[in-house]
């Protein structure tokens, strides 16, 4: 065997011994075509050896994983290094199970690369546990977000109820601006506000723009929330 190409020689005795290994063992040529699978593979998939050889074994894999298999083998061939991947393998009952598939290159007695030999380990339970942990984490983050929003609402309410808070906020606005803010929060349109106050539409728009700038609020909904917070209109608006 060449010292520059580490690997293992697959002897005839080793091939015979594979059937007695309880773990799924597979052997593929350098193009990723199946040469041999052991008894554990046949029992897991419920397939015959002759149906699994060549490209037949890909039919036991999930279509998405089977499609990416040749590309993964090509990468391993170029690197001449062990590789691993997770793929879905159809069990004899028709259900897909997640398998951790690992392979290593093997050579003949002269050091020429022949293909890859590897194993498959069922990792479905591990993946399910990770998914459950991820979902629990997402739920936890969602609860924290909702809690933070609830705290903000409570803080806004408490600030509104502080003694003198209404007058302090009102002092920032002119009487006309408070009138317009009150009508905006009650849902009146610009033209309706102009009619009620006997001013032009342009004047109402100008006051509304000044309100937004002074309060650092950028939309009518924000103005409405602000008016409710300072007690200018009841919260049922």
Q: What is the pLDDT of residue 14?
A: 63
pLDDT tens track for 73-97? 777 777 777 888 888 888 989 888 9
Q: What is the pLDDT of residue 168?
A: 45
Distance (Å, rounded) from C-alpha 221 to C-alpha 213?
Answer: 15
* 122 and 12 part of one domain: yes
Domain span at 69: 8-126
Number of domain units in the chain: 2
* 190 and 235 part of one domain: yes
- Which pLDDT band, with edges at 50, 70 and 90, does 167 fall under? very low
Q: How many CA atoms lie within 13 A of 52 on its CB side?
A: 23
> Per mean pLDDT, which range of 110-114, 148-152, 154-158, 224-228 is the poorest?
154-158
- Which pLDDT band, with edges at 50, 70 and 90, does 2 fall under? very low
State the pTM of this model: 0.48
Distance (Å, rounded) from C-alpha 98 to C-alpha 90?
Answer: 9
Which of 102, 126, 150 lies at the terminal end of a domain, its last residue? 126
Mean pLDDT value across residues 16-25? 78
Domain-located, residue 141? no
Domain-located, residue 131? no
């Amino acid at each position: 065997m060449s010292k520059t190409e580490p690997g293992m020689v697959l002897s005839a005795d080793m091939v015979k011994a594979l059937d007695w290994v309880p773990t799924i063992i597979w052997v593929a040529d350098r193009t990723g075509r199946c040469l041999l699978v052991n008894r554990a593979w046949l029992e897991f998939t419920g397939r015959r050896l002759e149906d699994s050889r060549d490209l037949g074994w890909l039919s036991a894999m999930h279509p998405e994983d089977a499609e990416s298999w040749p590309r993964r083998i090509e990468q391993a061939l170029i690197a001449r290094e062990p590789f691993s991947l997770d793929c879905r393998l159809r069990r004899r009952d028709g259900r897909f199970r997640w398998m951790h598939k690992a392979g290593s290159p093997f050579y003949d007695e002269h050091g020429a690369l022949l293909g890859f030999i590897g194993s498959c380990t069922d990792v479905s339970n591990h993946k399910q546990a990770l998914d459950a942990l991820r979902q629990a984490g997402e739920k936890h983050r969602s609860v924290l977000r909702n809690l933070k929003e609830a705290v903000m609402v409570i803080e806004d309410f408490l600030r509104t109820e502080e003694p003198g808070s209404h007058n302090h906020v009102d002092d920032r606005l002119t009487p006309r601006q408070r009138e317009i803010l009150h009508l905006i929060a009650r849902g009146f349109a610009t033209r309706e506000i102009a009619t009620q106050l006997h001013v032009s539409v342009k004047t109402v728009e100008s006051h509304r723009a000044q309100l937004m700038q002074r309060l650092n609020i950028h939309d009518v909904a924000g103005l409405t929330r602000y008016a409710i917070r300072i007690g200018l209109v009841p919260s049922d608006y």
